[in-house]
Amino acid sequence: MDRFTSMSVFVKVVDLGSFRAAADALDMSAQFVSKHVLALEQHLGVRLMHRTTRRQSLTDFGRQYVERARLILDELAQAEQLAAETQALPTGRLRINAPVSFGMNTLAPRLPEYMRACPQVQVELTLNNRAIDLVEEGYDAVFRVGELHDSGLIGRALAPYRLALCAAPAYLAAQPPLRHPQDLQQHVCLGFSHTELRSHWSFDGPEGRVTVPVHNRMLADHGEPLLHAAVAGLGIILQPLEVVGPALRSGQLVALLPDHPVPTRPLHLLYAPDRRVTPKLRSFIDFAVQAFGPG
């Protein structure tokens, strides 16, 4: 006989107080209930119950075993429920947060793919560049750029975030040559007001990592205003490639310092470790890894 079935029958006998009551609840004969308990005792090599024609009672071992059996059966039920949820259709409201530039230029164009694949999920997307408390603010998942600190969240690594240093040809024509990152100190910069990019820009080159203090004529907490200012010839910007890419391709901006590339920044999708991975969350994690993963 199946050991887990026999264990379940035994627990039902204990909970209901008799073989007959357990048989009625399980829709089987009292004789078959008795066979399950006997098979379990034979497997264990220990008597679980004292039985007479009038009544039955647990042995000392039986009292200990039934408590462990309840825990095992509960874990089994949870595992089976997890499997059922994994196979279930994703449904319900999915709350996501992302940085503005990534959200507008990378996530938003691909999000319809996810929504078509999961038509019963309602997506609530918010975009901002401040640090989000996923648990306190009730998000299912958040995208985060930069090094992860010990937040207690689970992080799925995505393709690194690429930045580009660039300026308009009109600006470059009127300014001193820019041959090395240190030359930036003689130039007008347009800075991103979040993270260390507000005051220092880093580059990799033949001599290793170089970090340069920059002087900003303009600060903004979104990349798009900086892009407009740079295209207008007001200074140099360091922004995600997805923001400046169209202007680079059209010639409105020119990429600078090709021998000193900007270090990539980590990008992760985060979710809470104690939050059950529901079908809607699992489906979005799988989508994000496929769409934006490291390859």
Q: What is the pLDDT of residues 69-102, one digit of tens each?
A: 899 988 888 777 776 666 678 889 999 999 998 9
Predicted TM-score (pTM) of the model is 0.66
- What pLDDT score does 214 carry? 93
- What pLDDT score does 62 carry? 87
- What pLDDT score does 230 carry? 97
Q: How far apart are CA 217 and CA 188, in angstroms?
A: 6
HSE-CB at 220 with a 13 A cutoff on CA atoms is 17
- What pLDDT score does 295 carry? 64
| Domains, the chain, ordered by start | 3-87 (1.10.10.10), 92-161+266-292 (3.40.190.10), 163-255 (3.40.190.10)
In the block, tokens 């825990």 appear at 71
Q: How far apart are CA 96 and CA 137, in angstroms?
A: 11
Residues 267, 145: contact at Cβ < 8 Å? yes
Identity at 39, one-letter amino acid code: A
Q: How far apart are CA 281 and CA 128, in angstroms?
A: 21
Three-class DSSP category at 46: coil
- What pLDDT score does 87 carry? 61
Query: For residue 26, with 0-12 CB atoms within 10 Å meaning exposed, 13-18 middle and 19 or more buried, which class applies?
Result: middle
Could you tell me the sign of the dihedral formed by the alpha carbons of 250, 129, 288, 261, in that order? positive
* Complete edge-to-edge strand list for the sheet that includes strand 121-127: 121-127, 92-98, 141-145, 267-271, 154-157
Give the residue from 144, 188, 163, 151 showing the smallest Cα distance to 272.
151
Would you tell me how many other CB atoms lie within 10 Å of the CB of residue 151?
Answer: 14
- What pLDDT score does 181 carry? 96
Q: Which residues of the chain have pLDDT under 70?
A: 1, 53, 83-87, 150, 274-276, 295
* Residues facing 202 on adjacent strands: 211
